[in-house]
Structure 1
Amino acid sequence: MSVHLPRLLAAALLLVAGTTAAAPLAWVPNQKSGSISVIDTATDTVVRTLTAGGALGDRVQALDVDARGRTLYVVDAGHDQLVVLDPATDQVRGKVAIGADAEGVRLSPDDRTIAICAEGQHQVLLVDAATLAISARIKVRGRNPEHCEFSPDGKYLVTSNEGSNDLDVIDLATRASVGSIATAGHPRGAAFLPRSSMLYVAQESANGVDLVDFDARRKIATIATADRAAGVTVAPDGKRVYVANGSGSVTVIDVASSAVIREIAVGKRPWNMAITPDGRKLYVANGRSNSVSVIDTRSFKVMKEIAVGELPWGVVIAP
């Protein structure tokens, strides 16, 4: 037994850190259950369910995770707060009062700033990740900002504004909105290509995804998808874009040609997604099926459907 003890200790430490050497963990905020399902992407099984010791409310909207998988930032809209959670112990490290009707949350590329899209307040809150102090409240030009995305260089923040069919561009140096970009209709999830100014934005009412040249601050194309496009994820190598459609599918787009190359059926009302760092597995939250579909990105086939809590909002995997 003593021969294997160092190996067992090392494995235990990796689990505490929120990841294994072979495969990361996937975090699924279950909106109505007030819980977070933890999926081991090596086995595609739920290995734990987090509730912040039972303190999360029944509107867990979104979450993000730091690069090491050691801290979760959870929007608990039922209690109008951001909960900072230790995933290894399920203990709350801190709380931030963020007001009513917040939804999206995103951690900056350097892990120093938390951006919260306060949809009903028509503003973005910036929170210092070290002190948990609100450092700025930024009024957007549009209406109902739902998703927040940092530009790859960390200099700008983009919000998708459901109520005004546009994007706000926020300069993080001046902490002000410096412009807006018109979209095709009802923008939802968004994602930048790696190391690029190209941004893909799901357009729910337009049944497509907009390709936006962020440097030029303009939409250059709308690629048709299935009905009610809601979530967007980009492959780590930047070669494919995946769009979750509320009608029950994922559209796969080839970046080089902007052509749709596959339509993959998943569960009911798929929302937000995440892809493993190696790009081989796509995890899709099926909001009305209370499940996560696991897609093999090489065969374009659903490998498994994993039962989670009620109304899963999305999936997050540490980069």
Structure 2
Amino acid sequence: MKQLSILIPLVVTFILSYSQDAQNQTKSNTSQPETIPVGKGPDALFLTPNERYLYVANVEDSFISVIDTRTDKVVQTIDGTDYPWGFTRLGETNQVAVSGWDKGVDVIDFITHKIVRSKRYEQNLGGIVSTKNGKILFVIATDGNKVLKIDAESLEIIDKYATGNGPDGVGISKDDSKVYVTNTKDGTISIINLKTKTSMVIATGGKPELIHYNYDHSLLFISNFFENKIHILDTGTDKIVHEISGLDGPEEAVLSKSEETLYVVNFNNSKVYSYDAKTYEKLPQEFTVGAKPIGVVSAVDDSKLYVSNYGDNSVAVILLHSQSKLSDRDTEREILVKFKASVNESQIAQLASELGLQQIKTIAALRLRVFKITSKKSLKEVITACENQPFVEYAEPNQKVGTKLSRLRN
């Protein structure tokens, strides 16, 4: 639940308990995870494609915290984004757009961690999303009951679309033809056809808020704070196909990178619940975090969860696998490398020779290659060396390539 204490006074009362009910059969991790101090009111999170850096939107502050996921420490702040609200990566570029409550959009290069362009608007801004190619932004004008269509390069407004009252979150369909907006004051979701500018409304009741999605945007996961539900909406049929209930002030509902697990943050009881992403059955694992959590992201090959604790000005770090399981990855000895469009074959061949890599699979259309490590270098050493190359977009331990490809957007 977005809260700006300097703008929207709101009293939230809740009781936080760390004792385990003897009748409860759920395996709850009641020990407090490690935390990373950040700015005021940490909220939305953005993980860079190589999973090396985590951006934290401090919604009651004027900067973004940059966390190195290998050390779990803040290594930099990006100043000048007043009350940063939400993130969206611009296609396959190395840029991420950030909406700010204080009427601004900033575009950041996540390689250099620097703002490359900015623009201010007439109204306060909320949720943000982009088209598949990253050329168009859709940003909520919260006090104007509108969605702004913005050119991502010039940041000029191209068009506007009416919403309901109290718009907050925004999502986009798989084919970029429709946007979805949560109307917190109406208890509805607006579905806007971008070509015809017509809209339909789904009545949910309560207070629908945040919107997240699976990799190809065929499904949206929409939190409803007052109804204590997650609405799962099919963007092909524009129907709610499932609901997860039994929550306690749900905020973000986000899939793991593998898309096997759905994590749901509960603002009121300071817990993160986990669900099977296919059946939506609740899993035994749940995690106790800090006060008033909002954002969640699964990182480092689904070995960690990061959770923004709005009430504690911190980010919780939850280890999902034991160190022995993490070290086992080094024996797999395969890496997946995505190259930039500018790369040539001689550069790839030289890199493979220097690091002792044997190419075993190529997906040319996506600039992806799988290599087996034949040298004595560790997996970590090889990945670091690859990522230091200017022609490499990212490198990571190889998973099931078929699974990964099924999640890549066409």
Please state which band the TM-score falls in when normalised by the shorter chain: 0.7 to 0.9
The CA deviation at 1:179 is 1.2
Q: Map 1:60-71 to 2 at 5 A.
A: 60-66=84-90, 70-71=94-95
Which residue matches 1:137?
A: 160
Q: TM-score, normalised by structure 1?
A: 0.77
SS at match of 2:253: strand
Equivalent position amino acid for 1:240 in 2 = T
Aligned Cα RMSD in Å? Answer: 2.6
Which residue matches 2:358?
A: none
Which residue matches 1:216?
A: 237
Asked whether the equivalents of residues 188 and 203 of structure 1 are also in contact (C-alpha less than 8 Å), the reply is: yes
Equivalent position amino acid for 1:31 in 2 = V
The CA deviation at 1:96 is 2.5
Identity %: 24
Label 1:225 to 1:284 Cα distance change in 2 as closer, same or farther (>3 A): farther
Asked whether the equivalents of residues 182 and 218 of structure 1 are also in contact (C-alpha less than 8 Å), the reply is: no
Correspondence for 2:53 among 25, 28, 44: 25
Q: Map 1:201-280 to 2 at 5 A.
A: 201-247=222-268, 248-261=270-283, 262-276=285-299, 278-280=301-303
Label 1:50 to 1:245 Cα distance change in 2 as closer, same or farther (>3 A): same
Q: Cα deviation per residue 1:101-155 (whole Å; 9 max; x = unaligned)?
A: 3111122221111111112211101111122221111112x22221111223322
Equivalent position amino acid for 2:244 in 1 = I
Equivalent position amino acid for 2:139 in 1 = I
Q: Cα deviation per residue 1:253-278 (whole Å; 9 max; x = unaligned)?
A: 11232211132111111112233373
Asked whether the equivalents of residues 64 and 72 of structure 1 are also in contact (C-alpha less than 8 Å), the reply is: yes
Which residue matches 1:170?
A: 192
The CA deviation at 1:39 is 1.0
Alpha-carbon distance in structure 1 between the residues aligned to 2:320 and 2:195: 38
Label 1:90 to 1:213 Cα distance change in 2 as closer, same or farther (>3 A): closer
The CA deviation at 1:68 is 5.7
Count of residue pairs the alignment pairs up: 276
Asked whether the equivalents of residues 184 and 222 of structure 1 are also in contact (C-alpha less than 8 Å), the reply is: no
Equivalent position amino acid for 1:229 in 2 = P
Asked whether the equivalents of residues 182 and 219 of structure 1 are also in contact (C-alpha less than 8 Å), the reply is: no
Q: Cα deviation per residue 1:176-216 (whole Å; 9 max; x = unaligned)?
A: 24212222521112222334633221110011212223333
Q: Cα deviation per residue 1:6-54 (whole Å; 9 max; x = unaligned)?
A: xxxxxxxxxxxx9696x431111112221100011222221111103xx
Moved more, 242-251 or 185-194: 185-194
1:105 aligns with 2:136: no
Alpha-carbon distance in structure 2 between the residues aligned to 1:220 and 1:154: 20
Alpha-carbon distance in structure 1 between the residues aligned to 2:195 and 2:263: 31
Q: TM-score, normalised by structure 2?
A: 0.61
Where does the alignment leave 5 or more consecutive residues of structure 1 unmatched?
Answer: 1-17, 300-317
Where does the alignment leave 5 or more consecutive residues of structure 2 unmatched?
Answer: 1-46, 323-393, 395-407
Q: Map 1:165-204 to 2 at 5 A.
A: 165-174=187-196, 176-195=197-216, 197-204=218-225
1:284 aligns with 2:307: yes
The CA deviation at 1:233 is 0.8
Which residue matches 2:24?
A: none
Which residue matches 2:375?
A: none
